[in-house]
Amino acid sequence: MNTLQDARALDAQDPLRSLRDLFSLPEGLIYLDGNSLGPLPRATSARVQQAVQSEWGQDLIQSWNKAGWFAAPQRVGDLIAPLIGARSGEVVATDSTSINLFKVLHASILIAKTQANTAASGQKASKNIVLSERSNFPTDLYIAQALCAQHGLQLKLVSQGEIAGSLTPEVAVLMLTHVHYRSGHMHNMAALTQAAQAVGALTVWDLAHSAGAVPVDLHGANADFAVGCGYKYLNGGPGAPAFAWVHPRHVSAFEQPLSGWWGHAAPFAFTPGYTAASGIARYLCGTQPILSMTALECGLQVFEAAQALGGMAALRHKSLALTDAFMQLVQTQCAGFGLHSVTPAAQARRGSQVSLVCSAAPAANQPGPAHAYAMVQALIARGVVGDYRAGDASAPAAEDRLHIMRFGFTPLYTRFEDVWQAVQHLRAVLANQEYLKPEFNQQHAVT
C-alpha cells in the first residue's frame, strides 16, 4: 500500500467492509483506540432503551425471568466462548477484569498448593512464587500483590525475555497478559502454558487485548484460567462486564473467594450456608449490571455477524494487513523523523496494535522521547485518536522505560484509508513540529 488509491482499492476488496456499518462512528474521526474503549455499535442505543423502558419500566421484577436477566452472564458468556477457544457453558460475563482476576488467581493458587502437598514426598517442591511480567498491566500486578501477601507467596516480576527461564519448580502460577498493552507483543500461549505445566505451575491468562482482536485457543493451548475485558475489542461500552473462563478440569474443584449468592448452587433457596454452584456459575458473585450486560451483548452480536464473513480468522487476516500497512507507511512516509515501532514485526508475535516511540537521541527537528505525549495530543486535535502510555522510569529493562504512542487497528471497522490518512497526519505533526505547541503539552487525568 503506497498511495491513497491503493488504500481505497484494498477497502473495496475487503470482505469485512460491511461490518463498519454496524457501528456508529463520529463523522470524519479516525478512531485508533478501540483497544482502550470500543466504539458504539448501532444496535446498542435502541436495545438498551428497550431494556430500560420495557424490561425495567413495564415488566419490572418479572424481567429477571421473562427478559432472561438472570441467565445473562451465561448467555453472554456463550457469545464470548467461540472467540477464545472455549466451549459453550464455560464462560461467564461478570464483574470487572480486576475482580475476575482476583477470583481465578485465588483459585489457581489454592490448586497449585494442593497439588504440591499431594505430590510424592520426595518431589515436594515449595510452591511459593507467582510469576509475571514487570510491565504487565498494573491492575493485574496490584491484584497479584494482594493475593500473594494473603497466601504467603512471592510475586516475582521479570522482563519478557526472562519468563521461560524463570519457570522453576517453586512457581505456583504463571500469570500473563496474552497481548501486551504497551508493546502489542503477543506471547506464545501454548508454548508458555506447556513450559509452566512442566514445572507443575498453573497458568492464568489475561485476554484484555486478545479477545475479539486475535484468535485465541484456550483449549488448544491447554490453559488453566483466563479473564478478559468487555469494553475494549468486544465493544461492550464503558465499564462493560468482563469475563472469566476456567478449564473444566478445575472449575468445580475449588471455590473462588467472593462467595456471593449468585455463585450459590440454589440462590433462591435462601439457605444460610454457602454451597457453590457447579461449573462456571460459581465464579459469579452478586447481582449483575443488567443494562451494561445488555450493551455488551450488542457488542458481541457484531461478532456473530462477522462469523458469516469468516469470523476471527478473517478478522485476524485483516488486522495483520492493517498493522503491516501502518508499520510500512510510517517507515516510508515518516522517514528521517526518528520514529520507530516497538511492536514485533513478526506477525505471529503481534496483537492488533502498533506502538511507536520517538528516537532516544533526537537530531534537530526530530521529536524526542518526551514528545510522545504531545504527538498523540496533536494527532487527536487532527481527528486521529490513539493514546499514550508513559514508560516506567525505574524499570530495569529498556523496553519498559519507553514512552509509547499506541494505535489500535480494530478490523471490524478500521479501513485501509484510515491507516493512510492517519500516517499523513502523523507526518504533518512531525514536519510542522506541532508537538512543541503548549496546548499539546498539558497532561489530563486520563491519558
Q: Which residues are catalytic?
A: 137, 206, 231-232, 406
Strand partners, 407: 354
Using CA atoms, how far apart are residues 166 and 164, in angstroms rounded to an integer?
5
Q: What is the DSSP string of 281-328?
A: GGG--S---HHHHHHHHHHHHHHHHHHTTTHHHHHHHHHHHHHHHHHH
Sites for ligand PLP among residues 223-242 (CB under 6 A): 229, 242
Q: Which stretch binds ligand PLP (CB under 6 A): 96-104, 212-220, 389-397, 422-430?
A: 96-104
**Residue 28: which region, alpha, beta or left (left: phi > 0; alpha: psi -120 to 50)?**
left
Among 137, 205, 388, 416, binds ligand PLP (CB under 6 A): 137
Nearer to ligand PLP, 177 or 377 (CB): 177
The answer to whether the CB of 133 falls within 8 A of the CB of 157 is yes
**Residue 339: which region, alpha, beta or left (left: phi > 0; alpha: psi -120 to 50)?**
beta
Q: Which stretch binds ligand PLP (CB under 6 A): 102-110, 132-140, 161-169, 434-442?
A: 132-140
Among 55, 206, 224, 255, binds ligand PLP (CB under 6 A): 206
CB atoms within 10 A of CB 313: 8
> Does 424 interact with ligand PLP (rule: CB under 6 A)?
no
Among 96, 197, 307, 333, binds ligand PLP (CB under 6 A): 96
Nearer to ligand PLP, 127 or 178 (CB): 178
Phi, psi of 406 (to 5 degrees): -110, 130
**In sequence order, what are the residues at sequence separation of 6 or more whose Cβ sits closer than 8 angstroms to the Cβ of residue 440?**
373, 374, 375, 377, 378, 381, 434
Q: Which stretch binds ligand PLP (CB under 6 A): 193-201, 204-212, 285-293, 415-423?
A: 204-212
* Exposure on the CB side of residue 101, measured as CA atoms within 13 A: 27
The answer to whether the CB of 243 falls within 8 A of the CB of 91 is yes
Nearer to ligand PLP, 323 or 421 (CB): 323
Nearer to ligand PLP, 137 or 440 (CB): 137
Nearer to ligand PLP, 98 or 366 (CB): 98
> Does 258 interact with ligand PLP (rule: CB under 6 A)?
no
Closest contact distance (angstroms) between CB of 425 and ligand PLP is 26
> Does 102 interact with ligand PLP (rule: CB under 6 A)?
no
> Does 140 interact with ligand PLP (rule: CB under 6 A)?
yes
End-to-end Cα separation, the chain, in angstroms:
31
Phi, psi of 440 (to 5 degrees): -95, 0
Among 102, 181, 245, 303, binds ligand PLP (CB under 6 A): 181
Using CA atoms, how far apart are residues 6 and 428, in angstroms rounded to an integer?
20
Nearer to ligand PLP, 229 or 423 (CB): 229
Closest contact distance (angstroms) between CB of 290 and ligand PLP is 18
Nearer to ligand PLP, 187 or 209 (CB): 209
**In sequence order, what are the residues at sequence separation of 6 or more whose Cβ sits closer than 8 angstroms to the Cβ of residue 166?**
131, 156, 158
> Does 159 interact with ligand PLP (rule: CB under 6 A)?
no
Among 74, 108, 160, 177, binds ligand PLP (CB under 6 A): 177
Nearer to ligand PLP, 98 or 128 (CB): 98
> Does 97 interact with ligand PLP (rule: CB under 6 A)?
yes
- Per DSSP, the three-state class of 437 is coil
> Does 175 interact with ligand PLP (rule: CB under 6 A)?
no
Alpha helix (H) ranges present in 61-125?
63-66, 72-80, 97-118
The answer to whether the CB of 277 falls within 8 A of the CB of 70 is no
Nearest to 114 by CA among 104, 103, 124, 122: 124
Binding mask 384-403 for ligand PLP (x = CB under 6 A): --------------------
> Does 33 interact with ligand PLP (rule: CB under 6 A)?
no
Give the pairing type, strands 91-94 and 242-246. antiparallel
Among 103, 106, 127, 209, binds ligand PLP (CB under 6 A): 209
Closest contact distance (angstroms) between CB of 206 and ligand PLP is 4
Instruction: Give the interface with ligand PLP as residue ranges (CB under 6 A).
Output: 96-98, 137, 139-140, 177, 181, 206, 208-209, 229, 242
